[in-house]
Chain A
């Protein structure tokens, strides 16, 4: 599986260490909340709600440089909007990959 990275964050920061610290802090704070909404929506089997939160999570997937995962997330979102959950397992692996990375990332 591809490895998350902070290339985009560093590109955005232009060497501004304070910004890097801020954005990493926000990712660490906001991501678990969105992930929790995702699993709650899955529990409720509310496909529209799942699609909405997958849509939002796509941005964080891309910020962490996960290009292939981003494409998988797009496919999963489309499946959900057409009433299918195809791509669920792959997507949840992506979530786990991001969780592992962010949990070990120092602010």
Chain B
């Protein structure tokens, strides 16, 4: 989980960062001495979790949460236990740590964050057999974030060493995976592996010429062994 720490007190930031170091899956990407700087960062970057101090001058932790359109999960860190009731009025706040934070209490909060973040992503990645896609979306892991891709927008998947490039109508994604793995996730009535390095969306073909297909602006080779399968799938006149 990528997290940031927002606290106007250096000591507090150092203590929280030290506690984060005891969790292998917690990665502190930034620290901020005030919520305004954090807001600028969050407008351009996504994180999984914020350790947020409430009591800060000018712009409080609550001000920050209310300003964010889609706030990530938040663990409040404060020297004041009196905000607890107000804190849980916000859906994004998952725990409330009173300073000085103990390692035991911190661990519980992180475990809670982990379980809630997993719950958020689990429904979109169920185990299924090849071709049995339960939805129209595919989630891919890029820089520790799960990015949703509408499968109907995918027109080409290309193998590139240890990575695959997924090309969609709007954007291209480079993902650490194999062609074989993604082939299992894509609906086989729409997608076909035409070459050892390419899977195409049959519905997006513009034309076919001998041993290649034109998809969007990409000319994709079709191997001899896959050509007959491709031809079978086409509605030929």
Contact segment of B11-19, B125-133, B150-158, B170-178: B11-19
How many A-B residue pairs have C-beta atoms within 8 angstroms? Tell me: 48
**Closest Cβ of chain A: how far from B115's Cβ, in Å?**
24
A45 within 8 A of B: no
A62 interface neighbour in B10, B100, B103, Cβ under 8 Å:
B100
Complex contact B18–A13 (CB within 8 A): yes
Complex contact B19–A12 (CB within 8 A): yes
A8 interface neighbour in B55, B79, B80, B100, Cβ under 8 Å:
B100
**Closest Cβ of chain B: how far from A80's Cβ, in Å?**
13
Contact with B along A46-68 (1 / 0, CB 8 A): 00000010011011101100000
Q: Which residue of A has the minimal Cβ distance to B12?
A: A59
Q: Which residue of A has the minimal Cβ distance to B80?
A: A55
Q: Whole-angstrom distance between the alpha carbons of A66 and B54 in the complex?
A: 23
Known contacts A12-B15, A12-B18, A30 near B100 by CB under 8 Å: no
Complex contact A63–B100 (CB within 8 A): yes
- Which chain A residues border B80 with CB–CB below 8 Å? 55
How many chain B residues touch A (CB < 8 A): the figure is 18
| A contact residues, range | 20 to 34
**Closest Cβ of chain A: how far from B133's Cβ, in Å?**
46
Contact with B along A1-32 (1 / 0, CB 8 A): 00000001001111010010011001101100
B9 within 8 A of A: yes
Q: Which of B52-89 contact A (CB under 8 A)?
A: 55, 57, 79-80
Known contacts A11-B103, A12-B19, A14-B22, A58 near B14 by CB under 8 Å: no
Contact with A along B89-113 (1 / 0, CB 8 A): 0000000000110110000000000
Complex contact A27–B18 (CB within 8 A): no
**Closest Cβ of chain A: how far from B15's Cβ, in Å?**
6
Complex contact A26–B10 (CB within 8 A): yes
**Closest Cβ of chain A: how far from B169's Cβ, in Å?**
50
- Which chain B residues border A26 with CB–CB below 8 Å? 10-11, 14
Q: Whole-angstrom distance between the alpha carbons of A29 and B99 in the complex?
A: 20
Complex contact B57–A52 (CB within 8 A): yes
Complex contact B19–A55 (CB within 8 A): no
Q: Whole-angstrom distance between the alpha carbons of A22 and B21 in the complex?
A: 15
- Which chain A residues border B79 with CB–CB below 8 Å? 55-56, 58-59, 62
**Closest Cβ of chain A: how far from B194's Cβ, in Å?**
55
Q: Which residue of B has the minimal Cβ distance to A77?
A: B80
Q: Whole-angstrom distance between the alpha carbons of A63 and B102 in the complex?
A: 11
Q: Which of B12-66 contact A (CB under 8 A)?
A: 12, 14-15, 18-19, 22, 55, 57
- Which chain B residues border A19 with CB–CB below 8 Å? 18
Q: Whole-angstrom distance between the alpha carbons of A52 and B9 in the complex?
A: 12
Q: Whole-angstrom distance between the alpha carbons of A16 and B21 in the complex?
A: 11
Q: Whole-angstrom distance between the alpha carbons of A62 and B101 in the complex?
A: 10
Q: Whole-angstrom distance between the alpha carbons of A8 and B10 in the complex?
A: 16
Rank and list the top 4 A-B pairs by shortest CB-CB distance, nearest first: A62-B100, A58-B79, A59-B99, A59-B79
Q: What are 5 residue pairs bridging A and B, where the CB atoms are less than 8 Å apart in the complex?
A: A16-B18, A23-B15, A58-B79, A59-B9, A63-B15
